[in-house]
Every structure is written in C-alpha cells, then in structure tokens.
Structure 1
Amino acid sequence: MAGGTGDSGEGVGGKETSDTPREQSEKEQENQEYVTGLKLLAVLGSVTLSGFLMLLDGTIIGTAIPNITSQFHSLPDVGWYMAAYQLASAALQPLTGKMFTYYNNKWAYLVFFTIFELGSLVCGLASSSSMLIGGRAIAGLGGSGLLNGGMTIIAGAVPLAKRPLYTGIYLGTIQVGTVCGPLVGGLLTEYASWRWCFYINLPIGAVACIFLTLVKVPELTSKKPFTLSVVRETIPELDLPGFALFAPAAIMFLLALQLGATNYAWNSSTVIGLFCGAAATAIIFLCWERHTGDRAMIPFSIVKQRIVWCSALNGAALVVSLLVAGQYIPIYFQGVLGYKPAMSGVNTLPSILSQMATVILSGFLIQKVGFYLPFAAVGSAISAVGNGLVSMFSPSTKTGMWIGYQIVLGGGRGIGMQTGLIAVQNALPPQKLPVALAFLIFCQNFAGAVFIEVANVIFTQSLASEIRAHAPSVSPKAALAAGASPSAVRALVPKGSPELGGVLLAFANSVDKVFYMLIACCLGGLLCAPGMGWVDTRKNNKMPETG
C-alpha cells in the first residue's frame, strides 16, 4: 500500500494477519459495542471536563506570566514555565499509548489525572521560580495521558465513521478551556493571586474524578483484568530503557538552550558539552528503538509510515504556533500596551474564539466532504499568514488591527488542528491507534517544549540588543530581571522619560521576532500536508490511498 500503510503485520498479541488496516477496522467494529444516548453523553462529558482543565492550565498561565516573572525576577525563566510542562508531557507521552493499549482505559486515565492535579497543587504553593517549574513538570507528566486517553476512549465509544464529528466536538469543546484561560487567569491574577490559576484545578478536578469513576468507559480493544501478573507481562512492552534514554537527552538539549540564552556564552564548554551529550544520548536512543522493534516506545514500523510522520509534523507546527503565541501575545498586551491581566485575557479572545469555532466546523465539514487533506493545507497556510500579521504588532497598532490579525491566526489553527488525528485513525487498525495517537501528541509536546525554549532564546537575545538600540540608559540585565508586567516595564525608566517609547518598542520588536519563527514553523507544516494522504474517510470499504 502507498504511504507505508500496508503493514498488515502484527496485532497486539503478535498474531499475523493478511487483513488491511481498513479490513481490521471493520472486523473490530462488527464486534464492538458502542454507546449511545445518555451513556455516550456521560462518557464524552467526563473526558471533556478533564480535557477542559488541561487546556485551561495551558492558557491560564499566559496572562499570569508577566506577574510571575516580576515577583520572582525571572524573565529569563519564562520559557521553562511552559517548556517544563511540555517536556515532561513529551517524555512520558509514548508510554501512555502503551499503557492505554494494555491497561483499563478508565483507571489509567484517572491515574494520569491525579498526577496532573498534584502538579497543580505544587505550582500553587510554589515559593520560587524553580519550585514552580518543578510543579509544571509534575503536571506535565499527568497531562501526558489526558488528551491521548480522551481520544482513545472516544475511539472505543463510537464507530470509525463518526469519529471525525465526535473528535471535533471533543476538541472544540475542550477549547472552551483555552478560551476561559486567558480571561480567568487575568481575573484571578489581578483580583486574587496568580496562585489561584493552579488552585482552581483542584475543586473542579475532584468533581471530574468522581464523575469519571461512576461512568462506564468502553474499551477500544479487549484487555485482560488488571493483576500483578498482567503488570509483569506488560512492563517489558513499555520500553522503560527507551524512556530512560530519551528523558536526559531532551533535558540536556533544552538546558543548553536555556543556559546559552542567559548564563553562558554559546561557545562555552558547558553549553557545548550539553549539546554533545544530548546528541550522543539521542543517537543511542534511536539505535535502541530500532533494535527493540514493535515493542519500542516509538515503534519505527508505525512512525516510518508517511501518513503518520507527515501528520505528526503538520500537527506539531500548529501546536507550536498555539503554545508560543499564547505565551508572547499576553506579554505584548501587558508589557507593551499596558493592559492589566484581566483585560489582557479579554484581548486574546479573538484568536481563541475563532480557533474554537473553526475546529468544530472543520470536524463537521470533514465528515461531510470526506477529505481532510485540503483542511490540513489550508489551515497551515492561513496560520502562516496569521503569524505574519501578528509579527507586525507595534506600540501603536490599532485595536481593530490586532483583533483582525488574531482572528486570522486562530482560524487557521482551528481548521487544521485535528486533521492529523483523523488521518492516522483512518490509516491504522484499532489496536495500533493508542500508540500512534500517543506518537502524534508526543511530537506536538516535544516540538512545543523545544520551540518554546527557542522562542525564549530569540526573545531574550533580541530584547538585550533592542534595549541597547532604543533605550541605551537601561541595562539589558535590568530589563530581563524586571519581568513583563505593565508596572515593571514602565519602572525601567523614570516617570516622564522620553526613553519609555524606546523601551516599549524594544519589547514589541522582540515579540515580533518570535512570530517570525512561527511563520517558518507553519510553512514547514504546509510542506508536510501533502504526505498526509488523499483519503476519502466516507469510503469505509476501501483502503486509504496516498496518491
């Protein structure tokens, strides 16, 4: 089969079959008992509420970051507040696919959700920037299984033909968390404390846990009851050595980026040593994964299929755009335009509302039209244009312009956001879906962690040079230590100083350069879109074609 989807190969138990992925899907559907009516609503409601909290946690910190950096004097750490979450999530992500393959979906999901809640508690109690970063890492470990687990549960609850619609409803509805995040984060930061941006997860999370415990969650594939013998049998399948190799490689790489941007020169032995260590460990990790075969944390038999890796790269580009923009647009609104946190959150709604609307609409249209490839290409192209428009933000940008630019940006992301998930669901048999979906989300989280840190490097390096050029009396070190809250930025110069305009321009130009990077990311996603396959999802009796 074109695109590498002809690996009819082995199922979970290693039994060989000559069936195509589509034929295997049809056989699974014949034996699957799907849920409908109120039961389906209960299943969707439980995973949606959990997903809502996860996405709320991702965006609620955006409007709080300027105040956090000012309180801890930690603007150089701004990248880690997001990257620690994304890195921890990416490190564990491939293992979540294995866990949902072998263990009961509901209880595995609840374990991940409990860890996510623990991380939120640590963040709320943080007394330093380092403790906050640690809490974000714990939350990331828990969050690693929520999106994949939610989609795995939905895939087992509804037939393949209806998955685009319900996946669109799920992704679109949990985007309400993204919508509420900036506004709720701004209100809590301004009228209570930024700590409540994390405490808010605890009571809502308790309700979600109770709700999910009482709901019957269908399984995508049949599994053995959970026993110690099952744990002993499945531990070798989890590829823990692969995890032990990947995690330090990723940490060393991101730490090299962080230290090179702040404490050390790029040609210092410390930074070079970290890069070399990361590269060496990554090579060993890839060799191990190849040696392990289908039992690897990232099975090459799945990853090498063109539809899978093209879908992963296309989706990762859009997620990078979402995460990085969600961190730096609030810095623009607060640090440059001087809005308070609550109003800053309101100002980000145009991009998030347009994204929420288009992700639901695209799910509906894909089900009607049948072809997802046009949506992937158009979404990436519009996202690149949107990032280009946002890169023109300045201290004098008119309100109508920054509203319109954000609508374009959010609309493009929403159009293409779920196309990779739909492509993979139509290319692989059900027993391989948890691992494949985990790989897609792994790529998104790892790319998010890397490019958030790259964005931090671009921003901090640019701010230092821009401050020297436009406000020479201000120390670049003082600008980095001040944070990005409105009062801290304006306190860099005496009241009434003519250099205030230069300071604001320096911050605006530094934010703009971050969006140059996002333009390139989205264009890269556009180049990968054709490899996702020209597949008609309505023809359940035909194999995927990748013309």
Structure 2
Amino acid sequence: MEDEPLISSTSQDTRGAEGIVQDDDLHTAPYSDLEQPPSRSREVPQGDSGAGKDDTTDTSVLLVVAALTLTSFLVMLDMSILPTAIPQITTEFHSLRDIGWFGSAYLLASSIMQPLTGKLYLGFGLKYTFLAFLGAFELGSLLCGVAPSSKFFILARAAAGFGSSGLLNGALNTIAAIAPMHKRPALIGFMMLISQLGMVGGPLIGGFITQYAGWRWCFYINLPIGAVSAIILSALTIPDGFVRTTAKSTTKLSVFLGLDPVGFALFAAFTVTLFMALQWGGSVYEWSNPVILGLLCASVGLFAFFSVWEKFVGENAMFPYSMLRKRVVWASCLTMFLLQGCALVYLYYLPIYFQAVKGASPLASGLYNSPGIGSQMLLAAVSGVLVGKMGYYLPWVLVSGILGLVGSGLISTFRPDTSPVAWIGYQIIAGVGRGCGTTMPMVATQRVLSPEQIPLGMSLVAFCQSFGGSMFLTFAQVIFSHSLVDGLRRFAPTVDIQTLIDAGAAGLRKVVQPQELPGVIEAYNLSFTREFYLAAFAYMAVFFSAWGMGWHSLKK
C-alpha cells in the first residue's frame, strides 16, 4: 500500500486521489519579487479521531521533526566539535598549514553537491534520499576517526561533506511539506534551537573528549547519534507531495539528465581549481608562480563555460536563471554566503586564540568559546519564533549585520592579557548578531517560491551557506599563514619558523625557548586578530545585501 502524506490540502480541486498537485498555477512562470505563491491551508487528513487536529501536534509530524532535529544537531555538533580538536590534530599530524583544508574540504564537497540535492529530492523522494545522505555522512565520520595522516583525514572530511550536503535541505523540505508558511519559522526556529545545542556543546564535548579520550572520538561519537535518527526516520512515513509525483512521471535516464551532470562537472572543476590556487598561493608556491597563475586562469575559464552552459540548459540547470533572477532569492543567497562565512571564522579561530595565545586546555577552550555560541543559539530560536508572530524578517538581518560588525571589531582588539569580562562580553555581542540572521534567508526564499520550487530554492541557499563557509575559511587560512610568518619575523626572529609550524597550535610551548615564548604568542595573537578584519568587512556587506531580501510580511 502506498504511503499517504501526513499533511494534505483542504482544497479539493488541488489534489487527486494520491495527493498529486494539479493546480495550473503551480506550473506557471515563477512569481515576481512582490508576488507570493497562492495560499494553501493544510490540515491533517480526516479520520476517525484526527479531524480538525492541528498539523503541528500530530504525533507522526512531531516524530519527523524530532528526527530531523536530531540529524541537524549531529551536523552542528560535527561542525563545532572539530575546531576544538584542531590544535591537537595539527600537533599529531604536524600539519598547521592544513587547518584551512580541514574545514574547507568538508565545506567544498558539501557546496559542490548542494545544487544537486534539490533535484535528487525531486527525483527520488524525501525519505530514502535523506537516509542516503545520512549514511554517507556517517561513513565519512568513521573514516575521520581512523585517519592515519593529514591527507587521509582531509579526504575523509570531504566524504562527510558530501553526506552533509543534503541533510539541511532535506530537513527544510520536509518541514515545508508538513507545515503551512506561517508555522515554518517557528518549526525552523525550534529545529535550530535544539540543533544548535550541538554548536554550544560541541566545544565542551570536543574539549573533554580530546583531552581525556583522544580527538578521534570526536568523530566516533557521530555514529550512534546518526543511527538513532536513521531508525526513527525509517519507521515513519515522510510526506512526499509533489516530490513523489515528479519521481513517478520520469524515467531514470530523464532524472539523471535532469541533474545536469555536465554543469556539475564544470562547477566541480571550477571550485577545485580555485581552492587549490587559494590554498597553495603564497605558501606552497609564490603567487606569481606559473602553477598558481594557471590554476587561476583555469578557474576563470571553467566558470565562464559553466555560466554559458547553465544559460543553455535553462530550467534543468543546477542554478536556473529564472530562479536566480528573483531579487529575494539572490539577495538571500548572498546574505547566507556572508553570514556563514563569518560564523566559521569565529568557530575555527577562537579556539586557536584560547589554546595557542592563552595556553588553555582543550576543555577550557571549549568552555571559553561557549558564550558566543550560546547567545547565537538563543537568538536563532527567538528570532525564528518572533518573525512568525511579527511577520517581518528584514529587521533581524539588519540587526545581525550591525551587531556582527561591532562584535568583530571588538574581538579584533584581543590581546594575550585580555580579561575574561572583555572576551565573554564581546563574544556575546557577536553571537547575538550571528543568531539574529541565521534562519532569515531560508524563510525569505520559501516565501517567494511555489511549493515545487522550494527543494531547489533551499538547495541554492544551503549551497551558498556551505560555499560561503569554505571560501571564508580559505581566505582566513591565507590571512593566518601570512600573518603568522610575518609576526614571527617581527616578534620572534630567532625562532625556527618551520619547526614551530610543524609543532601545531597546541604544541608551540614545547618547541620554543622560554625567552622566545612571548614573541611567539604575540605573533599568534596578530594572526588571530587579523581574521576578524575579514569578518567585520563581511558583516558590513550583510547590512547592504539584506535590503535585497525585501520588506515583506509572512502573514500576508
């Protein structure tokens, strides 16, 4: 017997016997910036005891949301647990120069796959596609735990990134399928609230595990959590709606061609060549080296070919121009790109400050990093609930840009002797700024898209989230590496730079003489503070990009 959707439309002329969308307006041209998709109220299917019951209190719906929240918690935990362990990883693998790759490999793989995830959900349905992504993420986590070298670890992070690429998109699509528009901000806010407990607990859990069990257990912990989520989802019915309709009306070949494999190959090649140029430039090779120049030229050429191909393919493209032309969509994508980039600068480099500059243990570093993450988590949930009640999302993004700029500017003043009152307060200001804007690009994008466009729209936003994080981590690594070498030459000229780099952030005090230590700490502090000039510039850009999302109310 075929699974029935948990939520069905109350309009009798919009769905057939199998819940298939039949409205003509769902197949028309995309809505303009000022237009909205037709309103469709939703309710639980009529039954003996469920008539009139509110959809968000249905037991099955709550279990689906709980499983999605658990998976989102796992992804957030994985993101926040790694930075606390990075100083120890760099010490074991003698790979301080690879810090950028530890985060970028994961986000690069995720961003390459992101544009395809919406089409995969459209072609193969929600439930089993989501479980496949979750399985890939779990496999990558296992490989991270057994990694024998830095290069293997980077490849394992890429495998986990491929898996994570479809998890957020799948969670958002499922919430869109089971809840009306005015309830989605609250559900998304709830999911972000609980899942971002992983962001808060990640540094503490990672510090404790790294200090007492070893950093590899930071990845083994993903396996039982992911298994629980997979078991719950396997036992539940996931509403497919239009997704299931698309899968029925196409062949396997047409689904494959609809994924735009040529566009995927061109985009993957462009992204890899660009990241290789940015990672190697100035460290492995000089920027004027033919290798770097060749990679940069190749990335420009590949992007040009990719753009032409996407225009030629039309609506089957990875990035359909009809959707990107919507001002709200491209402004939301740009805003998410900047917000996530800033968030990861904070996430990856504050532990470097506490462990390398302050000399804190991994566990203490996680504790010191929690004020900013905790305030971010709280405001992400509060803003999601309030925007559902107040209607307007733009003010929250503007506040995010302003507070983020102020917080980044204050953190860039950190010194080795900065007091706890200062670094706690500054983190809270920045965390509130990050939390205010976290969910708003997703909400704004859903507001202007018709139901069958939402999976692709969410994949675009999620792509910009991953791609923004990977790009900013690459930029940050370039800034950090150059600033560290520059600082060591200025403040500790007698130190063997290569020996210090090989020692890693957690091992610097073991390889320098006592009289050299203050200069080395000063060099690390210089490298850290320069990262937040980048974050401040990005938050300034957020304030301007946010206006493109429009002053619209979700209540209309």
| TM-score clears 0.5 | yes
How big is each residue's C-alpha offset from its partner over 1:403-448, in whole Å with a ceiling of 9 and x where there is no partner? 0011011110000111111111111111111101110111111121
How big is each residue's C-alpha offset from its partner over 1:163-202, in whole Å with a ceiling of 9 and x where there is no partner? 1111111112110111111111111110011000111111
1:334-413 aligned at under 5 Å gives the runs: 334-413=355-434
2:512 to 481, 490, 493: 493
Letter in 1 for 2:525: A
| Separation of aligned partners in 2, 1:14 and 1:370 | 25
Identity %: 41
| Separation of aligned partners in 1, 2:381 and 2:405 | 21
Counterpart of 1:545? none
| Separation of aligned partners in 2, 1:295 and 1:225 | 14
1:122-271 aligned at under 5 Å gives the runs: 122-224=143-245, 230-271=251-292
- Other structure's SS at 1:491 match: helix
Shift >3 Å, 4+ stretches: 10-25, 27-36, 224-230
- Other structure's SS at 1:338 match: coil
1:26 to 39, 58, 62: 39
- Asked if residue 419 in structure 1 is aligned to residue 419 in structure 2, the reply is no
Counterpart of 1:468? 489
Letter in 1 for 2:165: S
Conserved? CA contact 2:36–2:449, under 8 Å: no
| Separation of aligned partners in 1, 2:182 and 2:458 | 17
Letter in 1 for 2:135: T
Structure-2 change in CA distance of 1:328 and 1:11 (3 Å): farther
| Separation of aligned partners in 1, 2:529 and 2:256 | 47
Counterpart of 1:536? 553
Conserved? CA contact 1:155–1:220, under 8 Å: no
Structure-2 change in CA distance of 1:313 and 1:483 (3 Å): same
Conserved? CA contact 2:263–2:317, under 8 Å: yes
- Asked if residue 68 in structure 1 is aligned to residue 79 in structure 2, the reply is no
1:29 CA drift (Å): 4.6
1:233 CA drift (Å): 2.6
1:19 CA drift (Å): 9.0
| Separation of aligned partners in 2, 1:11 and 1:443 | 32
Conserved? CA contact 1:152–1:220, under 8 Å: no
Structure-2 change in CA distance of 1:111 and 1:279 (3 Å): same
Structure 2's unaligned 5+ residue stretches are 1-20, 47-54
1:524 to 520, 541, 546: 541
| Separation of aligned partners in 1, 2:247 and 2:554 | 35
Counterpart of 1:17? 28
1:293-304 aligned at under 5 Å gives the runs: 293-304=314-325
Conserved? CA contact 1:153–1:220, under 8 Å: no
Letter in 1 for 2:509: R
Counterpart of 2:120? 99
How big is each residue's C-alpha offset from its partner over 1:118-153, in whole Å with a ceiling of 9 and x where there is no partner? 100110010000000000000000000000100100
Counterpart of 1:543? none
1:206 CA drift (Å): 1.2
- Other structure's SS at 1:130 match: helix
Conserved? CA contact 1:224–1:230, under 8 Å: no
| Separation of aligned partners in 2, 1:14 and 1:429 | 9
State the superposition RMSD in angstroms. 2.1
Counterpart of 2:523? 506
Counterpart of 2:340? 319
- Other structure's SS at 1:261 match: coil
Letter in 2 for 1:471: A
Conserved? CA contact 2:342–2:472, under 8 Å: no
- Other structure's SS at 1:262 match: coil
1:32 CA drift (Å): 8.6
Structure-2 change in CA distance of 1:366 and 1:51 (3 Å): same
| Separation of aligned partners in 1, 2:150 and 2:24 | 46
Letter in 1 for 2:540: L
| Separation of aligned partners in 1, 2:107 and 2:23 | 29
How big is each residue's C-alpha offset from its partner over 1:201-230, in whole Å with a ceiling of 9 and x where there is no partner? 111211111111012211252524968963
Conserved? CA contact 1:123–1:132, under 8 Å: yes
1:23 CA drift (Å): 6.3
| Separation of aligned partners in 1, 2:259 and 2:22 | 16
Counterpart of 2:49? none
1:231 CA drift (Å): 2.2
